[in-house]
Amino acid sequence: MELCHKSFMPLLHVLLFLCCISLFISGAQALNNNTISAIYVFGDSTVDPGNNNYINTAFRSDFSPYGRDFVNQMPTGRFTNGRLTTDFLASYMGVKDYIPPYLDPTLSMEELITGVSFASAGSGFDPLTPTLFNVIDIPKQVEYFKEYKKRLQLAIGKEKMEKHIKKAVFVISAGTNDFVVNYFIIPIRRKTYTVSAYQQFVFQKAKELIQDLWEEGARTFAVTGLPPMGCLPAMITLNSEDAILQRGCIDKYSTVAREYNQMLQNELNSMHFGSANNLGAKIYYIDIYGPLIDMIQGPAKLGFDEVNNGCCGTGYVEAGFLCNPKSYVCPDASKYVFWDSIHPTEKTYNNIFKASLNIIVAIIMD
């Protein structure tokens, strides 16, 4: 009898452990379904699922080979071969499988209510940046959100709309175009700003966006930092003495990104909205620099073969219309960190999402 009792105890522990795991998973699923009402996205090409398809700009990707690994091999306007990090985020949170572009005229109210992206490829926090590509600037993205709120209010009423907005997650991803294009490639801002002054200027514009969205009812923010800019294939090509034979990250540009990210993280942690407890606003910093540099510096452990060239074309300078149906495309994009000379592959976006899971879980649970 004593022997039977002893042999039974480990089994009981296992059953209790499995029961706890089951309850945790069920609880997480309930949170996924009930806590997050929608996801709204603002920024640039890293989170634009196709808004540029509906405006008069040359900076688009609604053609092959973009979307080669998306559903039905569909070029949606995403600047990659498949899904974006925000798509993985929405799916994980149980909101929807993909974040659609707000400007898509075919979207149903059911699609609209669970979240959309207002982002525009080529945009940035600096008001000058979107004018270079004739794309949607950040203030206009906020105006579209205000328009969206009116549409939502007509559908579900003001009180439900306001509660819905407060339970949503607002994702902000921009800044790379400001530094890469406006400051380094086309030295427009370098004439009037030092690097540190421009970092402060860009952050101030990011802060204004958060403030504007807070005034519109946003309470939960996920704000991304900058990537290692010196590792973007286009930056390597344009700033190397021998861009073909000696390809490697240029640290002076990545250093600017690291400094900005540290400042951004510190400032976001200290942001308040008119009171000591910032009236319920929660701001989370999402690190994309660390995951990207890990993929670039240790590619083999993550299954990558190529880290300095994009999959499309030569991989040196192609992006947008330079990566087109006539371009050579690598046979397996999952072996590449970058899809074109600027934008990551779907696998890279997925790795960034996975690296951010601790923050994402905190957002869901908080």
Catalytic residue numbers?
Answer: 45, 340, 343
Distance CA 114, CA 40 (A): 9
Is residue 61 within 8 A of residue 48, CB to CB? The reply is no
* Strand arrangement, sheet containing 220-224: 39-43, 169-173, 220-224, 282-286
Task: Look up residue 68 and give its amino acid.
Answer: R
Residue type (1 letter), 280? G
Write out the E strands in the chain: 39-43, 169-173, 220-224, 282-286, 306-310, 336-338
Pairing of strands 169-173, 220-224: parallel
Distance CA 68, CA 80 (A): 8
Q: Where do we find the tokens 């308040």?
A: 272
Number of neighbouring beta carbons within 10 Å of residue 314: 15
The total number of residues written for the chain in this structure: 366
